[in-house]
Amino acid sequence: MRLSGRLRAMLVGLTAVMAATGAGAPAGAQDRLEYVALGDSAAAGPLIPTQDVNLLCLRSDRNYPAVVAEELNALLTDVSCSGAKTGDLAGRQFGILAPQFDALKPTTDLVSITIGANDSGLFQQALGCINLLPEPWGLSCADRLASGGRDVLAEAVDDWAPRFGAALDEIRRRAPHARIVVTGYGMYIRPGGCHPDQPVWARDGDYLQSVMNRISSTARKEATARGARFVDIAPLTVGHDICAAPEDRYLEGLIPTSVAAPLHPNAHGMAVMGAAVAEAAR
The mean pLDDT value for 274-281 works out to 98
Q: Which residues are catalytic?
A: 41, 264
Taking only the tens place, the pLDDT of each residue in 73-125 is 999 999 999 999 999 999 999 999 999 999 999 999 999 999 999 999 987 88
What percent of the chain has a predicted confidence (pLDDT) above 90?
84
β-pair type (110-114, 179-183): parallel
Q: How many residues does the chain have?
A: 282
Residue 228 to residue 24: CA distance in whole angstroms: 35
Assess whether pLDDT exceeds 50 at residue 251. Answer: yes
Domains of the chain by range and CATH? 1-28 (no CATH), 32-281 (3.40.50.1110)
pTM: 0.88
Q: Please report the pLDDT score of residue 123 as a whole number.
A: 79
The mean pLDDT value for 237-263 works out to 97
Per the CB < 8 A criterion, the answer to whether 282 and 229 are in contact is no
Per the CB < 8 A criterion, the answer to whether 280 and 182 are in contact is no
